[in-house]
Structure 1
Amino acid sequence: MKPSFREATPDGDTLPRQLCDHCGYVAYDNPKIVVGAVVRFERQILLCRRAIEPSRGKWTLPAGYMEHGESPQEGAAREAFEEATADISIEGLLAVYTIKRIGQVQLIYRARLGSASFAPGPESEAVRLFPEDALPWDDLAFPSVHWALTQERAAGGPFVNPEGSETARL
């Protein structure tokens, strides 16, 4: 029998969900977790030029979706290796950003690059170390990259969305 779903509020719940008409299974649609890092090497920051949409050709942090069976820190390290063949050491949580309109929660870490050895992975056109005073602010892929780079310079954290960011576009 082919599943048939309808939108309804399950008993004991407060939100409408997709329910199977045959067995009552609830198909939850929850936010996706994105993990990434602001990676430093000496006084420089590692950025990747995107080879894929959205924002192809723009600079971003090494980041992507967390996979089942890994911790957020493991996911951030994996993403740095996949996008920049970079071996990084996670130092701590920098920020937690919520991008409600696209259902993402982003966990961004502070990290160190083990050596100046890196190269573009399949999702990157280029990978480069930028001096702190030469970051490509006008060519960043997403508002959350701007937030992370700005907040990484500040002492403290972990940080959250900047005030008024609800209307920011990714």
Structure 2
Amino acid sequence: MSTETQFDRLVPVGDTHERDVCKTCGFVNYQNPRIVVGSVVRHEGKVLLCRRAIEPRRGFWTVPAGYLELNETPEDGARREAREEALAHLKLGDLLAVYSVPHLSQVQLIWRAELLDPGAGAALFGIGEESLEVALFDWDALPVDEIAFPTVHWMLGHEREVQRQGYRGPFSNPGVR
């Protein structure tokens, strides 16, 4: 006898979307958006970027960011990602942006952040497990042709806008109000 669950694609009673529903027990297998958390990290007028050591977009530059873990606050997740990818400790500031990436079922929460001195002569940042390289860039020297994802371009542009015009609340996808 097989214990494999078989699902039908249908709209459960009281719902508005098609879902995978178990033929045997009626279990509804909800698939919800993935939450990505991260930060645009600044230090002495420069921005911290990580060259990805993993796919997708291995070898391209990004801000420290990744998926939120279960039982973790978004703020703690953003700090954890900076430690994992750049061995960096952060002081989080304002929420810079909330981006929607529907084709990947992602919602991205991105903070403004500053590097914290870890003390005891430790480096401000280093190469984490998921990075090939980590560096501080002058705004005029960003590797714009080697940025990993469109949202990273948005983040960097939104951070520059904040620096020029002040913070005006979280940004969203360009062209969305």
TM-score interval (norm. to shorter): over 0.9
5 Å matches for 1:52-63?
A: 52-63=54-65
CA RMSD of aligned residues (A): 1.2
Rounded to whole Å, the distance in 1 between the matches of 2:52 and 2:89 is 19
What residue in structure 2 maps to residue 147 of structure 1?
154
Rounded to whole Å, the distance in 1 between the matches of 2:12 and 2:48 is 46
Matched, 1:129 2:136: yes
Rounded to whole Å, the distance in 1 between the matches of 2:153 and 2:132 is 20
Matched, 1:162 2:174: yes
5 Å matches for 1:75-154?
A: 75-115=77-117, 117-154=124-161
SS at structure 1 position matched to 2:96: strand
Based on CA coordinates, which of the two structures has the bigger radius of gyration? 2
Identity of aligned residues (%): 55
1:23-52 Cα shifts (integer Å, max 9, x gaps)? 111000111000000001110110000011
Task: Give runs of ≥4 in structure 1 deviating > 4 Å.
Answer: none
Rounded to whole Å, the distance in 2 between the matches of 1:117 and 1:107 is 23
Q: 27, 35, 38: which one pairs with 2:37? A: 35
SS at structure 1 position matched to 2:99: strand
Instruction: Specify the code of the residue in structure 1 equivalent to 2:169.
Output: G
Report the alpha carbon displacement of residue 160 of structure 1 after superposing the two structures with TM.
0.3
What residue in structure 1 maps to residue 120 of structure 2?
none
Rounded to whole Å, the distance in 2 between the matches of 1:123 and 1:2 is 35
| TM-score, with length taken from structure 1 | 0.93
Rounded to whole Å, the distance in 2 between the matches of 1:89 and 1:31 is 27
Rounded to whole Å, the distance in 1 between the matches of 2:140 and 2:125 is 21
Gaps of 5+ in 2: 118-122
Rounded to whole Å, the distance in 1 between the matches of 2:110 and 2:175 is 18
5 Å matches for 1:67-78?
A: 67-78=69-80
Aligned length: 164
Rounded to whole Å, the distance in 1 between the matches of 2:128 and 2:24 is 45
1:93-132 Cα shifts (integer Å, max 9, x gaps)? 0000000011100000000101362111111000000112
Rounded to whole Å, the distance in 2 between the matches of 1:112 and 1:118 is 12
Gaps of 5+ in 1: 165-170
Rounded to whole Å, the distance in 2 between the matches of 1:2 and 1:147 is 44
Rounded to whole Å, the distance in 2 between the matches of 1:2 and 1:50 is 37
Rounded to whole Å, the distance in 2 between the matches of 1:120 and 1:157 is 32
Report the alpha carbon displacement of residue 81 of structure 1 after superposing the two structures with TM.
0.2
Rounded to whole Å, the distance in 2 between the matches of 1:4 and 1:128 is 49
Instruction: Specify the code of the residue in structure 2 equivalent to 1:86.
Output: A
